[in-house]
Amino acid sequence: MIVKKTVVFLLTAVLIAVLILPQGMDTYAADFNYGEALQKAIMFYEFQRSGKLPENTRNNWRGDSCLEDGADNGLDLTGGWFDAGDHVKFNLPMAYAVTMLAWSVYESRDAYEKSGQLPYILDNIKWVTDYFIKCHPSPNVYYYQVGDGALDHAWWGPAEVLQMARPSFKVDTSNPGSTVVAETAAAMAASSIIFKPTDPSYAATLLQHAKDLFTFADTTRSDKGYTKAEGYYSSHSGFYDELTWASVWLYLATGDDSYLQKAESYKPYWETERGTTIIKYSWAHCWDNKSFGTYLLLARITGDSFYKQCIENHLDWWTTGYNGTKVQYTPKGLAWLDGWGSLRYATTEAFLASVYADWEGCDPSKAAKYQEFAKKQVDYALGSSGRSFVVGFGVNPPKNPHHRTAHGSWCGMMDTPPESRHVLVGALVGGPGSSDNYNDSLSDYQCNEVANDYNAGFVGVLAKMYEKYGGNPIPNLTAYETPGEEFFVEAAVNAAGAGFVNIKATINNRSGWPARGSDKLSARYFVDITETLAKGIGLDQIVVDSTTTGGAKVSQLLPWDEANNIYYVNIDFTGVNIFPGGMNDYKRDVYFTITVPYGEGNWDNTNDFSFQGLEQGFISNKTEYIPIYDGNVRVWGSVPPGGNEIEPSPTPTSIKPTPTPTSTVGVKYGDLNDDDSIDSLDLTLIKRYVLRKYKISNPEDEAKFRAAADLDGDGEITSLDVTLLKRYVLRKINKFPVEG
């Protein structure tokens, strides 16, 4: 009886659920937050940007890069996307990704608007179409690549400090490239459609470029000049699929029947299954082969049974099978085509299946089958197998995608650091092998590669899933990270004796938020010569010698706090570019000797500020007591009291999250230890806090500390607050800016 009642209850609940579902909503619930997945998959493209980044950048670890692209040909070819985890701009897969993203907006604009993601996807598309405009300086000239694949792939480091030459390569009427030119025409035509409602002038510009590019590709019909991408993005399918694809999108953009006629005129050149006359069905829509998406669009445009049969043969092969064959499936349900980018193929096919199933011309039984397939493939990517394959999303997501800038190595080594320093939010990794085996390793190219084309179809099908099942995008999503240690000094006592000390100091630039080089770095070694002066030995008798300098100019002693006999050696690397780009680039070693005449007892170096924590021998220790400056801004370390150091506030990142306001009720500015006095103890605390050596575990205590330490009232605790507190302790100011 209990069992029967339970069954009746469950059946009733299911019936009610079906009855109250919104019209058009499927009867099975979403398993994942498709709204969050969609917004993160779009954000991925912001990490791929090359060129000068805009003010609205939503992360703090990417910076400007490759600002001389095109200079070898007297052009500005900055912008666009880096292809994958490398730094080459391959226009063929880039254009394909743009076409797919634009297609998704064409299909699901309401979903993008409802989710709040329309501005972001349009912004990402425009980042590339602006670049494509630059690549097309005249009707029959098109620059299809920036960067040399062989040179680029031999170096491992962040994009911001890339030093190698980046040649640009073109096709023209003498050396054409119909594949890449036609794909770019498709991208520009599709993009013109989606920009027309909001920016008709820009849409018209894109459309004109699309027309010119298509004419160029169609009249030349050759890939003779498309050579530098060979071995990376060779056109295995030829150029007729791109010509068809481009002409279809031009028809959709213009309504001009001549483009539709063009598209249909290419049918004799379409690829067939080996040894048959059957139009090819057994592969995937991808950067190389656009045939399958073209079948779908032509079926929808014309209603012709021929095109319907072509696309249904293809989708059947991916689902239930066609002509006795079907794509392979893993034990956990992934439609697995190939070891390279297995998830890329499955999610792109899921997009095609979902788009076709939503067309009224699709048979309802097939539509149900295709929709089920689409959801299962998306859910596999998001975690239905037990883990997510999207960085920064879901349960146990990938942490080590094969991506140079996200990894953030400073020494050019794939194993240093052992894990990625940055989170490549939204990146769909290549995916598992045919038995669901997956290795979250930086060096596993097959499993953990990421690429523009990988995310393109994925974004599209996520928009479809959001349409059907909803989801909740994260409000004001950003990818700001807490910076790790970027600049620091390691030092040791190389030798010491009566009246001298020899110091080895290593200046490190391991910056990553963003990575950046500098030719204005310097370091200071502080000494106290009180006992020396008491012996009657003058400052001019103390000698600083340097042997190995790493290109630095090493000074004699310079005054810091003359009243208290505090001086420093300035180690100045001005003119030497130190950048996190390789073993010989990210650091410089300096050896210098300070000598006081007349032997033992005339100088006690052990009481020197910068001598603290140093050990004698070959092992250097990180020391905060040898500060580093970038120009006149201290970027690392502490300094002794006194001195007249001016510390400008560090240059802010493009956009910072609005700081959570803290209450100032009962706060005594500068009194960080709450002992009702403002003194050197408070100064020590704020220095250690800024250097991340002092942590407060209780959130309320930290909020109180930050309120008392925010002396300039900008919501941040920075070196400027340290300087203000130091000046207050030294009685050089009698109140803080925050106090008015």
Bridge partner residues of 464 (DSSP) = none
Question: Contact at 8 Å (CB) between 677 and 671?
Answer: yes
* Residues in Cβ contact with 349 at an 8 Å cutoff, skipping those fewer than 6 apart: 284, 285, 315, 318, 335, 373, 377, 457
Looking up tokens 């003498």, which residue turns up?
A: 174
CB burial of 202-217 (b: ≥16 within 10 Å; e: otherwise) equals bbebbbebbbbbbebb
- Residues with active-site annotation: 86, 402, 440, 449
Host H or E run for residue 495: strand 487-497
Closest by Cα among 108, 111, 79, 81 to 93: 81
Please tell me the distance from the alpha carbon of residue 239 to that of residue 244, in angstroms, as a whole number: 9
Structure tokens at 705: 């500390």
For the beta sheet containing 633-636, the strands, ordered from the edge strand earlier in sequence to the opposite edge, are: 553-561, 566-572, 521-528, 628-630, 633-636
- Pairing relationship of beta strands 553-561 and 566-572 according to DSSP bridges: antiparallel
Structure tokens at 299: 């079926």
Which SS3 state, helix, strand or coil, does residue 30 take? coil
Query: Does the bond joining 93 to the residue before it have cis omega, within 30 degrees of 0?
Result: no
Cα dihedral: 390, 393, 396, 397 (round 10): 30
Query: Does the bond joining 514 to the residue before it have cis omega, within 30 degrees of 0?
Result: yes
Question: Contact at 8 Å (CB) between 374 and 464?
Answer: yes
* Main-chain phi, psi angles of 88, to 5 degrees: -85, 140
Give the count of beta carbons closer than 10 Å to the beta carbon of residue 434.
Answer: 15
Question: Contact at 8 Å (CB) between 343 and 389?
Answer: yes
**DSSP-assigned letters across all residues of 353-395:** HHHHHTSTTS-HHHHHHHHHHHHHHHHIIIIITSS--BTTSSS
Please tell me the distance from the alpha carbon of residue 422 to that of residue 160, in angstroms, as a whole number: 14
**DSSP-assigned letters across all residues of 645-707:** ---PPPPPPS--PPPPP---TT--TT--SSSS--SHHHHHHHHHHHTT-----SHHHHHHHHH
Please tell me the distance from the alpha carbon of residue 357 to that of residue 418, in angstroms, as a whole number: 45
How many CA atoms, within 13 angstroms, populate the side-chain half-sphere of residue 387?
Answer: 15
Looking up tokens 């349900």, which residue turns up?
A: 333
Structure tokens at 651: 């240059």
* Residues in Cβ contact with 710 at an 8 Å cutoff, skipping those fewer than 6 apart: 662, 716, 717, 721, 738
Q: Where are the beta strands (DSSP E) in 596-640?
A: 621-623, 628-630, 633-636
Structure tokens at 45: 């493209």
